Amino acid sequence: MTEHKSGEDRTAGLRRRAEERSRKGTTQVNQTMAEKDNLMLVHELQVHQIELEMQNEELRNAQEQLVELLSKYSDLYDFSPVGYVTSNKAGLIQEANLTFSGQLGIERSLLINTPLWLYATAPDRGKFQSHLDQVFRTKERRTCDLRLKRLSGPEYYVQLDSIRVLNVDGAELCRTSITDISISKEAEEGLIRVQDDLERRVEERTVELSANEMRFRKLSQEFHSLLNAIGDSLLLLSPEMEILWTNEGNAYRLNVPVAEAVGQNCYKLVYGRSAPCEDCPAVRCFQTTEKEVVVETRDGTVLDKRAFPIKEGRRVGSVILIVTDITLKMAVQAEAMQACHLASLGELAAGVAHEINNPITGIINYGQILINECSLESMEKDIGERIVKEGERIGRIVKTLLSYARDWREEKKPTRASAILEESIILTQAQIRKEGISLKIDIPDDLPKVKANFQQIQQGFINIINNARYALNEKYPGRHKNKRFEITGERVTINDHPYVRITFYDQGVGVSAHELSMLTKPFFSTKPFGKGTGLGLNITQRIITDHGGFLSLESTKGEFTRVTVDLPANRSDEEDKNECKNSCNR
């Protein structure tokens, strides 16, 4: 745009100057209208002629300047202390300055259209060809050192500095500057000879340092591999909470590649916040210059976050944040505590059972005496029967309690799911009845047995029953016609294998879709603090999975929850059943 305007301004200037010259040479006469038109036309032609003359004058001046500049350029090009060569893609010389022809001792005209590699020493020709190929392939500036041979005289060292260009026709060319570095090479060789002893010592030291460097690199690689193999997240943080470095551990669940995490603020990347967290141990570590520890629960995961200061003088320059997922550890500790609790409960139950069984046996015997000694229609006989019935019920509850508290490490044995469920209901039926829950159980008698650890499956069933009780009581604090809990059983086939399915259905508060996906994670609970540990369904799922079964959950917030337990049928039991069917058919 600027060039266009300057061209218009120059043309306008020429026009004004031409008109001024034309006016100086024009005489005033009385003219008619026709003569005025002719004179105007003559005037225009004169002005145009003057414009052309002035333009020719300017062009001659510009041409003289160009010739002068070209002469200067030619002098600079030809008499430069550095050789200049232009070659095509085939390596043929298209142009060369006098300096280069003088270096070789060959007339410049004889160099044109000859291969440039021809003037390199035989050992360096491959190196030169590789250099030329790289220039055209990478389209980047390239340098290399090699030796050239003179027409007469010794070889000399040169440094080639080449770049790819395009000519006016678009053809690729390579322009190369050739600097004679023979003097510096000779000086270098002389210095090597003079300092041979020192060089030898340096070489020995270099070998030692190289070995140390190799060991350091190996240790560095091992160290980085070790850091990346750690499951904990290690983050190096700046005072602005910017991630300076991190390993590949994903306890913190950054969910982005390591390279993308570096340079981002940890609070924004992890929590989506615009400012650091209030209880961030790294922030406190910068403030206190001491180690800081925080245990955090995030999406059902328990994280142990430890911040260690890296001091630069008296100030903390950066902080190492170590984030460890201790969910499993906490779950194991909770299970260990539960196991200890059950062991204590077992010992207590054994003692209580011993203390209860003796008087209960006496009570049952006294009731039986009443039955035997009294007439059939008497009130005493009815009372005796009631005493025996309730005494036996107490004895059964004690027996079930002892069975539940027994060592869980016993082997899996074929048993009926209905028997496990019955024992589970005995321990919870009193609470179900007290809370006004309508319980309906529909378990067919012909269900195949399952190979199971009785106490473990019983624990899973009790966990599910207690969750259903809680959901119903939250929705219906008192009695209600819809306060119903149903347990059904059926035989199903999954992947061509027989399974026993037990379904627990309640019309309680239910859970949302987001919460449903989190229910089996350790320490996740929809119950208020103090009413749930968040381990029940997690333990239940692991028990069912350990038995080769499946635990599935279905729920709608405010409407219902359905928990389905699929346990593989005992193979021998199924084979006996099939054999019986085949015999009946025959």
pLDDT digit string, tens, across residues 35-60? 777 778 887 888 888 888 888 888 88
The model's confidence at residue 584, banded by pLDDT at 50, 70 and 90, is very low
Q: Are 567 and 550 in contact (CB under 8 A)?
A: no
Helix, strand, or coil (residue 29): coil
Q: What is the mean pLDDT of residues 125-132?
A: 91
pLDDT over 70 percentage in the chain:
81
Distance, CA of 97 to CA of 99 (rounded, Å): 5
User: Could you count the other beta carbons within 10 Å of the beta carbon of residue 579?
Assistant: 10
Quickly state the pLDDT bin for 512 (edges 50, 70, 90).
confident
Phi, psi of 266 (to 5 degrees): -65, -40
**Which structure tokens are listed for 158?**
């040169």
Non-local CB neighbours of 212 within 8 Å, separated by 6+ positions: none
Q: Which two tokens stand for residue 583?
A: 């015999």
Give the pLDDT confidence of 368-387 residue by residue, as tens digits: 877 888 887 788 888 888 88
Give the pLDDT confidence of 284-320 residue by residue, as tens digits: 899 888 898 888 877 767 888 899 999 888 889 999 8
| Residue of 460, 450, 467 whose CA lies nearest to 424 | 460
* Whether 398 contacts 375, CB under 8 Å: no
> How many CA atoms lie within 13 Å of 146's alpha carbon, on the beta-carbon side?
25
- Identity of residue 427: L
Dig out the tokens for 331 from the structure.
């779950």
- Greatest mean pLDDT among 14-18, 389-393, 477-481 lies in 477-481
Is residue 235 within 8 Å of 253, Cβ to Cβ?
no
Pairwise CA distance, residues 275 & 264, whole Å: 12
- For residues 220, 222, 224, 230, the Cα torsion angle rounded to the nearest 10 degrees is -150
Mean pLDDT in the chain? 81
What contacts 358, CB < 8 A, 6 or more positions away? none
Whether the predicted pLDDT of 172 surpasses 70: yes
**Confidence label for 169 from pLDDT (cuts 50, 70 and 90):** confident
- If you average pLDDT over residues 444-464, what whole number do you get? 88
pLDDT digits 0-9 by tens, 73-86: 777 888 888 999 99
CA distances for 536 relative to 144, 358, 463, 524, angstroms: 72, 35, 6, 10
Report helix, strand or coil for 19: helix
Cβ contact 475:508 at 8 Å: yes
pLDDT of residue 308: 92
Q: Which domains does the chain have, with CATH numbers?
A: 77-189 (3.30.450.20), 227-325 (3.30.450.20), 328-407 (1.10.287), 412-586 (3.30.565.10)
Average pLDDT estimate for 311-333: 82
Distance (Å) of CA 253 to CA 233, 327, 459:
8, 14, 33
The Cβ of residue 125 has, within 10 Å, a number of other Cβ atoms equal to 16
- Of 493, 537, 496, the residue nearest 519 (C-alpha): 537
Question: pLDDT tens-digit profile of 392-410?
Answer: 777 777 766 666 555 555 6
Tell me which residue has tokens 């037990």. 502
Q: Average pLDDT of 415-428?
A: 88
